[in-house]
Amino acid sequence: MAWIRSKNDHCFNVLRLNTAGRDIIRRAPQMSDQQLEQELDHYFHNKGWRSGERVEPKQVNQNTKGKEPSQKEVPNVRLTDTQRSKISDKLSQVFKKAHKTKELKEVIETIDNQSNEVKKLITETYNNVHVLPSKNSVYMPHQKAIYFDLNSIRENGENGYSKNEVLFHETGHAIDFNYKGEGRGETASENYISQKYNKTLEVMLAEEARTLDFGKIEKELYTKEGYYKIKEETQPRLKELTKEFRSLLRSSSPDIKAKRDKIQVEREVLSTKYFDTTHKLQRKYSSLSDMSQAFTGNKFEENGGHGISYFSAGPHGTVNKSANEFFAETFSSKVRNDESYELTKKYFPKTTGIFEEILKVKGVSK
Ligand SMILES: [Zn+2]
């Protein structure tokens, strides 16, 4: 196969291409190298590439890049040039070293489009924390460091996030943790007492979560999105087609080849349909799914998660991490994912109210 330098390189490019390519990669671990090569070979051939050509990643459609920052009603005080270059300096270790200057610009634009208080919170937070490149995105309270995996901005919605949402998720953790001190148990979500509800976000979250039937919510939302129907329409047929395709792999007769081509086309249509839906579910419902996992142990279908052990052990035997996770998720949704934010508000109206109160108080008090 002359068009690949290494299998990883190959996979990476296919991964970025479209869903049929992803379908192949998904199954790659079960396939022999030869089978994988054959399928990919065939796949590229169908796409009209000649052997030896480098595969260029497909351009992501700008219109589907998740939420674009919305205009707020309150007149926005734009970031000054000094603030912009400060943010840029802070993030440069991650973005500039990886030559992602365009992405860096997008992040700064996103920040500039936030309300004044959110803008202030983010800029102040970036004055206080390190932002460093890493293979995993995580906030480390004791180091006051946001570790950010640049790969998470490569695709949109694939891991349940809109573009750049992960950076703002970790920024949300930093804001939460920088409330009192640096350690667990000292976060805003555990310590700030709401003026309206006379409770912390953590306590309110547990109260509201108890009233929710997450399983039922999942069924309702997923039915509304047409998920079960699409799954039924696509999955069994895709399995059939894969089986059929495999049985035709050995032959090179023109007839069989034509059959394979036909199968590939159908497969591509079906997987596109399926993955478009699942990615949408991931983008929209990952916050709810996280909370479902924290409180019931079950995540939503097709959604990733932290694993139940992640949430369980707070220092006070409480839902500690769930509150921290809620804060970070809601913060990134607010900044970058309208649909997810609206859902959070719908199912956790009071907890979201306290979250907003914290932003207001923190955003103006310093
Ligand atoms: Zn988190």
324-351: pLDDT as tens digits: 999 999 999 999 888 999 999 999 999 9
Q: How far is the CA of 127 from the centre of ligand 1 (A)?
A: 20
Which chain residues have CB less than 5 Å from ligand 1, an ion? Answer: 328
Does 277 score more than 90 pLDDT? yes
Distance, in Å, from the CA atom of 124 to the CA atom of 113, rounded to the nearest integer, reads 16
Does 49 score more than 90 pLDDT? no
Distance, in Å, from the CA atom of 244 to the CA atom of 259, rounded to the nearest integer, reads 10
Amino acid found at 57: P
- 3-class SS of residue 78: coil
Q: Which helix (H) or strand (E) holds 131?
A: strand 130-133
Mean pLDDT of the chain: 79
Q: How far is the CA of 123 from the centre of ligand 1 (A)?
A: 20
Task: Give residues with Cβ within 8 angstroms of 240, minimum separation 6.
Answer: none
| Domain limits, CATH 3.40.390, in the chain | 78-218+283-365
Q: How far is the CA of 171 from the centre of ligand 1 (A)?
A: 9
Segment among 169-183, 234-248, 283-297 with least mean pLDDT:
169-183
Residue 189 has a pLDDT of 92
Q: How far is the CA of 306 from the centre of ligand 1 (A)?
A: 9
Does 366 score more than 50 pLDDT? no
Length of the chain: 366
Q: How far is the CA of 173 from the centre of ligand 1 (A)?
A: 7
Q: How far is the CA of 32 from the centre of ligand 1 (A)?
A: 37
Distance, in Å, from the CA atom of 327 to the CA atom of 290, rounded to the nearest integer, reads 12
Segment among 11-20, 94-103, 162-171 with least mean pLDDT:
11-20
pLDDT in tens, 91-131: 988 887 777 888 889 899 999 999 999 999 999 999 989 99
Q: Quick check: 326 and 304 in contact, CB under 8 A?
A: no
Residue 236 has a pLDDT of 96
Does 231 score more than 80 pLDDT? yes
Residue 69 has a pLDDT of 42
Q: Quick check: 300 and 284 in contact, CB under 8 A?
A: no
Q: Which helix (H) or strand (E) holds 22?
A: helix 19-27
Q: How far is the CA of 321 from the centre of ligand 1 (A)?
A: 9
Segment among 161-170, 210-219, 236-245, 267-276 with least mean pLDDT:
161-170
Nearest to 170, CA basis, from 193, 143, 209: 143
The percentage of the chain sitting over the pLDDT mark of 90, rounded to a whole number, equals: 48
Residue 13 has a pLDDT of 35
Does 157 score more than 50 pLDDT? no
Does 4 score more than 80 pLDDT? no
What is the fold of 78-218+283-365? Answer: Collagenase (Catalytic Domain) (3.40.390)
Regarding pTM above 0.85, the answer is no
Q: How far is the CA of 313 from the centre of ligand 1 (A)?
A: 15
